[in-house]
Structure 1
Amino acid sequence: MKGLLVTGFAAIGAGSGAMLTLHAGSNLDPLHSVISEYVWQSAGWLLPASLTLFAVGSALIAEALRRSGASGWIVALLLLWGASMFLVGAFPTDRPGVPLSLSGGIHRYAAFAAFLVMPAAGMLLARAKIPYAKALRILSALALGALLLVVVPYVVRMFGIPLSNDDIPAGLTQRVVVVTELGVLALAGLSLLRPRARREVAPALA
């Protein structure tokens, strides 16, 4: 199990490094520009690479949780998060001003699914009162709150009210979701590195 977790953390770390490198080499404003727009930068290939590494890390941690006896719901949610992250990277968003394409639609709804399922997994893990349960609960709540702020502009536009990302900190709220959800994933893995957690996960969540 420790090998799975270490490899999972390495994948998450490498994905985070690729994401930071992409941001450092871009001239976009992270306060207003959403992460998806970075795929059109010169080093845009780092975006799908980063998201794929996150997906791999999630799958490895999910397998470690499965072996520890965690609920199938938690394992399934982490796997769904990873699959959604992979789809977000595999199907790039549309360029600004272009009508929604099939690729753009898959990208959008896969991102929403990912943003929604990780807080659910975090809350289920927190119920087990394993190490970091309080931090898991806080990060999951923050992710859900930030997700609400991400969704509101789309709802506003559905009512015909013009609202661009330049009018709101769309980039900031999206990054809060991503960072907090990566935090949930990392804590889920870290909790299994402690012997007491491995004993408690199964009876608490099975």
Structure 2
Amino acid sequence: MKALLVSGLTATGAGTGAMLILHARAGLDPMHTVISEYAFHSDGWLLPTALTLFAAGGVLTAEALRRAGAGRWIVMLLVAWAVSMFLIGAFPTDRPGVPLSMSGGIHRYAAFAAFLVMPAAGMLLARDQARYARTVRVLSAVALGALLLVVVPYVLRMFGIPLTNDDIPAGLTQRVVVITELGVLALAGLSLLRPSLQRSQGGASPILA
């Protein structure tokens, strides 16, 4: 259990580091530039690297939760998030102004799936988990609210309203979703780490309430 948790947290932390390095080197406007467009920078390889590390962190954390007795839906949603993260990195988005390709479509819908399933997992986890439950619930609620702001511009464009990312803080809302969801994933792992250490010392500390 301890090895799974430490590995999951390490992968998530390494992915976060890669993402921060990419942002620092690219020098793009984080308020309006969506994260996917960083793939077109010279250091764009850091984007799929970070997403793959997030996927690994999600799978490892899900397995740790499964062994700890978490509900099946929580584990399945975390695995779905991890798979979606991998697909986002494996299938890059299209350059701005280019018609939607198959790769771009997979990228887009995998991102929507990832953005949706992690708050759902967080809400279920907050219901069943004793530690960090309130924080996980708040982060999940913020992620859902920010996701709504991410989706609204796409809906408006479907109705013929010409709205570009320069007109709205598209980059900011997307980053709020990503940061809060990574927070949920990290707290899911941290909530298990201390009880795991206690059990290794002979104590009996239940993880889930």
Q: TM-score, normalised by structure 2?
A: 0.94
**Counterpart of 1:194 in 2: which secondary structure?**
helix
What is the match of residue 145 of structure 1? 145
User: CA-to-partner distance for each residue in 1:80-131, whole Å, 9 max, x for gaps?
Assistant: 0000000000000000000000000000000000000000000001111410
Residue type at the aligned position of 1:159: F
Shift of 1:73: 0.6
What is the match of residue 57 of structure 2? 57
Residue type at the aligned position of 1:124: L
Closer/same/farther in 2, CA of residues 198 and 42 from structure 1, 3 Å limit:
farther
Which aligned pairs between 1:55-204 and structure 2 lie closer than 5 A?
55-195=55-195, 199-201=206-208, 204=209
Q: 2-side partners of 1:11 and 1:52: how far apart?
A: 9
User: CA-to-partner distance for each residue in 1:6-65, whole Å, 9 max, x for gaps?
Assistant: 011110111011000100111311100000000000000000000000000000000000
CA RMSD, 1 decimal: 1.3
**Counterpart of 1:162 in 2: which secondary structure?**
coil
Shift of 1:194: 3.1
Identity score, percent:
76
2:68·2:207 contact (CA, 8 Å) conserved in 1?
Answer: no
Instruction: Please tell me whether residue 5 in structure 1 is matched to residue 12 in structure 2.
Output: no
1:68·1:198 contact (CA, 8 Å) conserved in 2?
Answer: no
Closer/same/farther in 2, CA of residues 161 and 18 from structure 1, 3 Å limit:
same
1:147·1:173 contact (CA, 8 Å) conserved in 2?
Answer: yes
* Runs of 5+ consecutive residues of structure 2 not aligned to the other structure: 199-203
* Runs of 5+ consecutive residues of structure 1 not aligned to the other structure: none
Residue type at the aligned position of 1:84: S
Shift of 1:200: 4.3
1:192·1:198 contact (CA, 8 Å) conserved in 2?
Answer: no
What is the match of residue 40 of structure 1? 40
2:19·2:46 contact (CA, 8 Å) conserved in 1?
Answer: yes
Q: 2-side partners of 1:198 and 1:38: how far apart?
A: 44
Closer/same/farther in 2, CA of residues 82 and 106 from structure 1, 3 Å limit:
same
Q: 1-side partners of 2:118 and 2:182: how far apart?
A: 9
**Counterpart of 2:36 in 1: which secondary structure?**
helix
Residue type at the aligned position of 2:76: A
Residue type at the aligned position of 1:117: V
Q: 1-side partners of 2:37 and 2:205: how far apart?
A: 40
Q: Which runs of 4+ in 1 moved over 6 A?
A: none
Q: 2-side partners of 1:108 and 1:128: how far apart?
A: 31
Residue type at the aligned position of 1:76: M
Q: TM-score, normalised by structure 1?
A: 0.95
Residues paired across the two proteins, number: 202
2:56·2:82 contact (CA, 8 Å) conserved in 1?
Answer: yes
